[in-house]
A and B are shown apart, each in its own frame.
Chain A
Amino acid sequence: MATVALGLAGAAAAAWLGAAGLVLAGGRRPAVSLQAGLIGLGGLAALGAGLVGVVAGSSESLALGNQLVGPVAYRVTALGATFLTLLGLVALTAAVWGARAHARSLASSAYLAALALTALFTLATLCAATVTAFLVAWESMTLAATFVVWRHHDRREAAWGGFLFVALGEAGFVCLTAALLLLATQAHSLDFQVIAARSATIGSGWRGAAFVLALIGFGFKAGLVPLHLSIPEADPAPPADGSAVLSAVTAQMGVYGIALVGFRLLSHGPAWWGLLTMSLGATSAVLGVLYALMERDWKRFLAYSTIENVGIAVTALGAAMTFLSLGQPGLGALLLIAGLYHVLNHGTAKALLFLTAGTVERATGLRDLDRLGGLARRMPRTAVIALIGTLALAALPPLNGFVGEWLIFQGLFQGFRLSSHLAAVLIVAAGAVLALAGGLAINAFARAYGIPFLGMARSGAAGRASERGQPVLAGAILAGVCCALALGAPLVLIGLAAVVRRTVGIVILPRLLVPGLTLIPAHPGFSSLSPTYLALALVGLLGVPLLILRLARPRAATRTVPVWAGGILRFRPRMQYTATTLANPVGVTFEDLYRPHRDLERASDDPAGRSGPVHYGFRLLPVYQRFLYQPLVAAVERAARGLGWIQSGDVNWYLLLVFLTILVAYVAAGR
C-alpha cells in the first residue's frame, strides 16, 4: 500500500515530464491537446497518490543520492500527501480547462511545458525527504513557475510580475536555505527524518533562528504580509490555468513549508514561535482582504484573496503550535486539522474562481469588474459554478469554507484554556482579527460575484458574451469537489486526523467525530456541528418557501410589470452600482490605513460644474509599499550610487583592481 503511493507519484512525475518534453516535438503542429492530456493524467495520478498517502501513511523512500550530490531521497509522507491531493486536483482541472482554452501554437506548447514542469517540481518538493532534494526541487519549482508567469511576456504586467516572482522567490530561497542548512549542520544529517528525531538536541538559539528564517523564507512564497508582493503582481499575469496553479498550489507550498518546519522538523518549540506565526497570519488575512476590496481587476482581486486565505491557514497553524507548546495537544491537533482543511478548501475554491474568471475573460475579453455585468443570464452554467466557489470562499454555510473556518474559530475560542495570559489574549485577538477578515470577505465576494454576474451588462463586450465554446467542465468538477468536501466533511476530517496522528502523534479522532456525522471540535458541551446534516437541512429549508408558494398561492390572476426604477424612461447600465461603490464604505472607514491619493481637477470653481469637465483620480499605494519597500529600494539605490565611483571607466583602474585581488589571494593563500 505504501509503495503504491510512491508508484503513483512516480507515474505522475513521468506524465508531467512527458508533457514537458512534448514541446520539443512541436514545430509546425504543436501537440497542445496531448500535453494537456498528459498533465491531466499526471494530475489524476498525483491525486491518487495523495489519497493513498493520506490513508496509508508514509511510504518507502526512494533513495537516489550518490557521493557527488549527497543523500537524495523521496518519500510520500502524510503531510505531503495532503498537499499532493490538492496538486493533483488542480493539475487535473487546469488541464481540462487548458485543453479547451489554448490555441495550437508553439507559445502555448512552451507554456504548457512550463506548467507541467511546475507541477513536476512541486511534486518533487512534496516528496523530498532530504535537504538537498528539497532545496533543488523548491528552486526549480520557482523557476518553472516564473516561465508560467512569463507566458505573455510582452505585456508589462507579466514582465513585472515575473521579475518580482523570481526576485522575491530568490530572497525567500536564501532564507530557507540558511534555515535548512543550519538545521542540517546542527543535526549532522541531511535527512528530514533524522533531523526531526534529533531536533530536541539542537540548541534553542539555533532552533529559534532556524524557525524564524524558515518562516520568512516560506512566507515569501506563501504571501505573508509584508513579504507577499509577488502574489498580486505575478498570479494574475498568466492564463487562468496558470493563475490557478500559482494561487492554489504554489502559494500554498509556503504553508506546507511552515507546517513542515513547525510540526515535523522542529516540533515542540517554545510558544513564541506559534504566536509569531499566528500574528503574521492574522495580519495577512485582514490586510489581504482590505486590499482585495479595492481591486477592480478580477484576477488581482482573487490574488489578494489568496493572501487572505493563506493568512487564515497560517493563523490556524500558528495557534496550533501555541497550543501544542503550552500543553493542550488536543486543541493543537484540532487547529492543525482545521488549517490543513482550510488549505484544501481554499485551493479548490480559488482554482475554481480563477478558471471561471478565465472563462469570462475568454468570452468577453475583459477582466475589469466595472466593465462586466449581467453574465448570469448569458453564461448561466458559469454563473452557478462561480456562485458555489464564491460561497465557499466567503465561508458561507453549507459549503466547505464555512466548515473549515468554523473549526478554526472553535479552536481559537478555546484560548482561555491556556495557562499563559499573554498567549490567551493574543489568540483571542487573532480570532477577532479573523472575524473582521471574514466579514470583509463577505463584502468582497458579494462584490466580486454581484458586479460581473448580476445586473445589466456594463459594456458591449459583456452584453455579447456567450458560453458556447468556453471551457466549463473544469469549473464544474471543482464545484462538485467543493460540495463533496462540505457534505463529506466527516470523511475528510477522518483523513486529516490520520495525517495529524502521523505527523505530531496526537489522536483526537474519537473525540472529534461522534456518531451521527457530528463534529465536536473543542470540548464536549462547547459546540458541535454536523456539516452533512446542515447542508441537507439548508437545501431542504430552501424548499419550504417553494412549497408554500405552490400550495398557498393566492388564486387571483397575477400581473407582471417592469422593475420600479423611479419611473425613468430607460434603465441604463451606467446607473448601476460599480465595484468601487460597493467597496466605498470600507474604503472610507479604513481611510487612515489606505491613505489613498486623490486628485481633483475642475475647469472652474463653479460648484455646479457647468463650465467644463471634472477629473477625479484615485490612486492607492499600499501601506507596506510606502513604508517598507520604497525606503528599502531607495536605500539600496543610494548605496549603489555611493559605490558607483568604482565604475570609473578607466581600463587601467579595472586592471589594478583585478591585480590587487590576485595579490591579496596570493598572500592570503600563502599564510
Chain B
Amino acid sequence: MTEAELAARLRDEVGRTFGRSLHIRTIDTGSCAACESEIRMLLAPHYDLTRLGFFFTPTPRHADLLMVTGPGAVGMDHALRLTYQAMPDPKVVVAVGACPLGGVLGPDILTHGSIQELIPVDVVIPGCPPSPIALLHGLLVATGRLAARVNPARFMTAPPPAPGKTA
C-alpha cells in the first residue's frame, strides 16, 4: 500500500467509526527516543496525523489508544500501570519499536525487557525505529481492533463492523 492509500483508508475508518476523533496517549518506559521522534514526525505537515482524525492527549482519561515505547524500565512500572488503568474502556495498546517486544534489552534489575508481562498488548509495530508508514499501518490495525471492541449497543450512530474483523 502506498502512503496515500494508507492515509485514505485510515481516514475512512476513523471517520466512519469514531467521527474523526481518536485520542492517543504515548508513554515512554525508557526508550532512546528514536521511536518518539518518529511518532512526533507524524504530526509534521508531511504526514499530518490530525487530518486523519488522531490527536495526542496528555491525559489517559481522554485517550483511546496507548502507544508504548521503551523496554519497560522498572521505574516506570507504577506509571505504566496507572496510565493503563486510568484509560477508560474500550482501549487498545500499541507497542512501538523493538524495545517493548523484548528485542533490545533482556530482563535485569533495571528493566523488564518487554512490556508484554505488564499490560496486555494488542498491536505491535516492529522496527528500530519503525518508519512513519509502518506507524500508520499499525494505527490502521489498531483502529480496526478498537472498532471491534466498541459495543454496538452503545454506539448508536456507527454501523456495526463487518463480520470477520471481530477480535
Contacts and interface: CB of A to CB of B under 8 A. Distances in A.
A567 B151 contact: no
A556 interface: yes
B83 A567 contact: yes
Contacts of A554: 154
Contact of A564 (B59, B78, B151): B59
Given A564-B60, A569-B78, A556 B86 contact: no
Contacts of B82: 561-562, 564, 567
Interface string B51-90: 0000000011100000000000000001110110110010
B61 A567 contact: no
Interface string A438-475: 00000000000000000000000000000000000000
Contact of A556 (B59, B61, B83, B151): B151
A561 B151 CA distance: 22
Contact of B78 (A556, A561, A567): A567
A556 B155 CA distance: 13
B132 to A, nearest CB: 27
A564 B86 contact: yes
B150 to A, nearest CB: 12
B86 A561 contact: yes
Nearest to B78: A569
Nearest to A570: B78
Contacts, number: 22
Nearest to A566: B79
B134 to A, nearest CB: 27
Nearest to A561: B85
A669 to B, nearest CB: 91
Contacts of B60: 564
A559 B78 CA distance: 18
Nearest to B154: A554
Contacts of A569: 78
Contacts of B80: 567
B61 to A, nearest CB: 6
Contacts of B78: 567, 569
A559 B83 CA distance: 14
A561 B83 CA distance: 10
A491 B85 CA distance: 55
Nearest to A564: B86
A569 B75 CA distance: 10
Nearest to A568: B79
Interface in A539-563: 554, 556, 559, 561-562
A569 B80 CA distance: 11
A562 B61 CA distance: 12
A557 to B, nearest CB: 10
B79 A564 contact: no
Nearest to B88: A559
Contacts of B154: 554, 556
Nearest to B82: A567
Contacts of A562: 82, 85
A554 B82 CA distance: 24
A562 B84 CA distance: 12
A569 B79 CA distance: 7
Given A554-B154, A556-B151, A567 B59 contact: no
A559 to B, nearest CB: 8
Contacts of A559: 85, 89
Interface string B19-53: 00000000000000000000000000000000000
Q: Which of B79, B82, B86, B154 is most buried by chain A, counting CB atoms within 10 A of its CB?
A: B82
Interface string B125-158: 0000000000000000000000000010010000
Nearest to A563: B86
Nearest to A562: B82
A571 to B, nearest CB: 11
A640 to B, nearest CB: 65
B11 to A, nearest CB: 29
A559 B90 CA distance: 12
B93 to A, nearest CB: 15
Contacts of B89: 559
A493 B19 CA distance: 56
B165 to A, nearest CB: 22
Q: Which of A559, A561, A567 is most buried by chain B, counting CB atoms within 10 A of its CB?
A: A567
A559 B84 CA distance: 13
Nearest to B76: A567
B74 to A, nearest CB: 13
Contacts of A568: 79
A638 to B, nearest CB: 62
A316 B94 CA distance: 65
Contacts of B151: 556
Contacts of B83: 567
A397 to B, nearest CB: 31
B133 to A, nearest CB: 31
Contact of B79 (A556, A561, A567): A567
A160 to B, nearest CB: 50
A569 B82 CA distance: 9
Contacts of B61: 564
Q: Which of A556, A561, A568, A569 is most buried by chain B, counting CB atoms within 10 A of its CB?
A: A561
A567 B27 CA distance: 11
A380 to B, nearest CB: 28
Contacts of A561: 82, 85-86
A561 B61 CA distance: 11
B85 to A, nearest CB: 5
A593 B79 CA distance: 45
Interface in B85-101: 85-86, 89
Contacts of B86: 561, 564
Contacts of B85: 559, 561-562
4 nearest interchain CB pairs? A567-B79, A564-B86, A561-B85, A567-B82
22 contacts: A554-B154, A556-B151, A556-B154, A559-B85, A559-B89, A561-B82, A561-B85, A561-B86, A562-B82, A562-B85, A564-B59, A564-B60, A564-B61, A564-B82, A564-B86, A567-B78, A567-B79, A567-B80, A567-B82, A567-B83, A568-B79, A569-B78
Given A561-B82, A567-B80, 17 more contacts: A554-B154, A556-B151, A556-B154, A559-B85, A561-B85, A561-B86, A562-B82, A562-B85, A564-B59, A564-B60, A564-B61, A564-B86, A567-B79, A567-B82, A567-B83, A568-B79, A569-B78
